[in-house]
Amino acid sequence: MTVLLIIIATTISTALGGLFAIKLKDKLHLILGFSAGAVLGVALFDLLPEAIDLTSGTYNIQIISILIAAGFAIYMLLDRYFSMHGHDDHCENPSHNGKLGASALVFHSFLDGFGIGLAFKISPAIGWVVALAVLTHDFSDGVNTVSMIVKNKGGRKSAIKWLIADSLAPAIGVATTYLITVSGSTLGLILSVYIGLFLYISASDLIPESHHQHPAAWTTLSTILGMLVILLAVNFAN
């Protein structure tokens, strides 16, 4: 029952974030700036410490660094050669890039649920800590998912579909933990790859787009605010 309530809470939190982004579409540059900081904050303040902790005693920090770089490179290659990037004037379907970014965010939400399920298998106390950490940034996940679609010329219907997918992903992640077994160190390696993905999304996609044709001061402040919100949320959860 406890896990079910947490699943419902993560779903609602993600959905609220996405609806916020849809409603304030005219302020998208500020939302994108905040999203850039939030994604960067999740990677540095949440995923990185967790990856180091999970792999401690099994893999050294160099392995973590290599996997982070690999994640960054993988996303860069996918973005440049398979997504038909929206900045290309000859792009026939720029929404492909938004879908690729949204897919990464949905999989991150899946990993959130996966982490919750594994944590509760270890102990209820650890499960609650992980669940609180997930809840604190699920709102940003919803914002980020919708932002990815909207900024790449995706329609409202497409944004809502991806928001639904992102909202349900944690539940699927929790359910998956009852079907397979993954060691903590392996989960840490997976998280390391996604740190690289999120660093690329923030630095090479969201930040440049948030500054496009808008005053840099406000969007820069939004990015810093996004980082601070995640930092405070993660510290509060821990």
Q: What is the DSSP string of the chain?
A: -HHHHHHHHHHHHHHHHHHHHHHTGGGHHHHHHHHHHHHHHIIIIIIHHHHHHHHTTTS-HHHHHHHHHHHHHHHHHHHHHTS--TT-TT-S-THHHHHHHHHHHHHHHHHHHHHHHHHHHH-HHHHHHHHHHHHHHHHHHHHHHHHHHHHTT--HHHHHHHHHHHHHHHHHHHHHTTT----HHHHHHHHHHHHHHHHHIIIIIIHHHHHTTS-HHHHHHHHHHHHHHHHHHHHHH-
Region 186-201 average pLDDT: 85
Is the model's pLDDT at 125 over the cut of 60?
yes
Region 139-159 average pLDDT: 69
Is the model's pLDDT at 234 over the cut of 80?
no
Q: What is the pTM of this model?
A: 0.64
Is the model's pLDDT at 94 over the cut of 70?
no
Please tell me the predicted confidence (pLDDT) of residue 84: 41
Region 89-105 average pLDDT: 59
Q: What is the pLDDT of residues 32-45, one digit of tens each?
A: 778 788 878 878 88
Please tell me the predicted confidence (pLDDT) of residue 191: 82
